[in-house]
């Protein structure tokens, strides 16, 4: 037996040395992570991936090591379903976490009952995720589009100069874009000068920019999935002389903000959940930022912070669960209140929406470089759950 153990250990060391994938050990608790590390949403997915990796480092539940297995969805719903099936059926994941894209998250959720595994999204914001398509298997640890729209409405009440503007909506022609566009248009007093929808993967935005120029718009709302398309639009719009205020509803990853440089300064957000710049006042964020920067050489975007916090919530629920059967984990997720780097995360049992708040924020140039960053999201006023929540009866969720 000793020889067998030594042989197994030697094989594991050899695999690590050669960079070969290692199977989860018999005592490992497997967590499946699904997100886009390639394709148009890769900046978002890779930010999340690094957050999950830090959260999982050295993590245990009930004395069992936690092993994450990460699968790239490329933000494609059909691919996301295949990867979820692989994680559950082959890798024996007890729970899935990630869900960068709303379309992918909804596609995986449609198979949740068959897969019989709880799912946590730390990013997907389409209202339907915990609304019309809510399910007992699916949980969301971040605000949804309707909540973000409420936060933006509050921001505009405090900034009447923004409410007075004529907004042009640029949106992606899929679940997130349509959901976000619809919720923004419902803000009381908002004036919409026009809109332009384009598919994910659009590199040339000149036709949409021509529509903006032909309208009476003097502000732009970006109902765009966070990825390469968004930076392409902002850079092209600025190059065409559109120096209007731009609102990204929940901000953009800081890696993209650095890439935009001066073109990103002045962007506003009404529903940003967190910023690495909180490191000045929040010791938990400070420790995370230092660890993230040490591992990756850049500052974490808010998606990385959300991923880390969502993983903390998941670990707390798994620790509280009496066993790892799906029904038991679901009950634990519904009952857990976890202390995370973004504050307490607790789920509303009726629709599995996290009862969390957000912040008004503005992208500012830093007086001096910090952690390799020259631009950062400065958080302004906090917006609480009670201010931005959508009542359960108005969510579209017909029950779990």
Chain centre to alpha carbon of residue 312: 15
pLDDT (tens digit per residue) in 207-251: 999 999 999 999 999 998 777 888 999 999 999 999 999 999 888
- Joined together, the tokens standing for residue 246 give 């731009």
Q: And the tokens for 368?
A: 């001096």
Do residues 137 and 191 lie in contact, with contact meaning Cβ atoms separated by under 8 Å?
A: no
pLDDT at 1: 37
- Cα dihedral: 356, 359, 364, 366 (round 10): -60
For residue 113, give Cα distances in angstroms to 110, 118, 122, 326, 397: 8, 9, 20, 10, 17
Write out residues in the chain with pLDDT < 50, as ranges.
1-25
- For residues 213 and 207, give the distance between their C-alpha atoms in angstroms, rounded to a whole number: 10
| Sheet of strand 245-247: strand arrangement | 191-198, 166-172, 219-223, 245-247, 268-272, 358-370, 373-383
Q: Is 10 exposed, middle or buried (0-12, 13-18, 19+ CB in 10 A)?
A: exposed
Residue among 291, 298, 233 at smallest CA distance from 267? 233
Q: What is d(CA 314, CA 118) in angstroms, rounded to the nearest whole number? A: 10
- Amino acid 249: pLDDT: 87
Tokens 């979820």 sit on residue: 84
b/e for 151-171, b at 16 or more Cβ within 10 A? bbbbbbeebeebbebebbbbb
Query: Strand 373-383 vs strand 358-370: parallel, antiparallel, or unpaired?
Result: antiparallel
- Tokens representing 133 are 């398509």
**Residue 360 to residue 337: CA distance in whole angstroms:** 25
d(CA 249, CA 361) in angstroms, rounded, equals: 10
Domains (range + CATH), the chain: 2-144+285-356 (3.40.50.2300), 146-277+358-388 (3.40.50.2300)
Residue 262: which residues within 8 A CB-CB, separation 6 or more?
365
What pLDDT does 5 receive?
36
pLDDT at 243: 93
Tens of pLDDT along 96-123? Answer: 999 999 999 999 999 999 999 999 999 9
CA distance 333 to 327: 10
Q: H helices within the chain, ranges in order?
A: 2-18, 42-56, 77-85, 102-110, 112-115, 145-158, 160-163, 175-185, 206-214, 228-239, 254-260, 283-296, 302-320, 326-335, 385-388
H helices within 77-174, ranges in order?
A: 77-85, 102-110, 112-115, 145-158, 160-163
């Amino acid at each position: 037996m000793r020889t067998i153990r030594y042989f197994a250990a030697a094989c594991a060391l050899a695999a690590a040395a050669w960079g070969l994938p290692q199977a989860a050990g018999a005592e490992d608790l497997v967590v499946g992570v699904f997100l886009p590390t390639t394709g148009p949403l890769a900046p978002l997915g890779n930010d999340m991936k690094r957050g999950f990796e830090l959260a999982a480092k050295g993590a245990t539940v009930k004395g069992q090591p936690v092993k994450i297995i990460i699968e790239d969805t490329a933000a494609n719903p059909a691919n996301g379903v295949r990867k979820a099936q692989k994680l559950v059926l082959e890798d024996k994941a007890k729970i899935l976490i990630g869900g960068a894209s709303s379309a992918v998250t909804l596609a995986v959720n449609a198979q949740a009952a068959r897969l019989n595994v709880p799912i946590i999204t730390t990013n997907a914001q389409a209202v339907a995720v915990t609304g019309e398509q809510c399910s007992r298997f699916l949980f969301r640890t971040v605000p949804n589009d309707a909540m973000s729209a409420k936060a933006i409405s509050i921001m505009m009440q405090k900034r009447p100069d923004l409410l007075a503007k004529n907004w042009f909506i640029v949106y992606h022609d899929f679940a997130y874009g349509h959901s976000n566009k619809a919720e923004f248009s419902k803000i009381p007093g908002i004036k919409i000068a026009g809109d332009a929808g384009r598919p994910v993967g659009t590199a040339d935005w000149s036709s949409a920019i021509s529509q903006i120029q032909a309208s009476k718009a003097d502000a732009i709302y970006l109902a765009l999935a966070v990825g390469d398309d968004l930076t392409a639009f902002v850079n092209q719009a600025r190059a065409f002389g559109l120096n209007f205020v731009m609102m990204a509803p929940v901000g953009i990853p800081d890696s993209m903000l650095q890439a935009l440089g001066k073109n990103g300064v002045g962007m506003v957000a009404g529903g940003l959940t967190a910023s690495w710049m909180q490191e000045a006042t929040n010791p938990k964020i400070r420790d995370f930022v230092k660890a993230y920067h040490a591992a990756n050489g850049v500052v974490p975007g808010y998606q990385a912070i959300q991923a880390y916090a969502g993983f903390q919530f998941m670990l707390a629920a798994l620790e509280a669960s009496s066993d790892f059967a799906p029904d038991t984990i679901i009950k634990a997720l519904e009952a857990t209140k976890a202390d995370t780097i973004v504050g307490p995360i607790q789920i509303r049992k009726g629709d599995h929406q996290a009862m969390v708040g957000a912040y008004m924020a503005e992208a500012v140039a830093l007086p001096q470089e910090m952690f390799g960053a020259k631009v950062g999201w400065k958080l302004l006023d906090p917006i609480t759950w009670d201010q931005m929540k959508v009542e359960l009866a108005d969510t579209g969720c017909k029950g779990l």
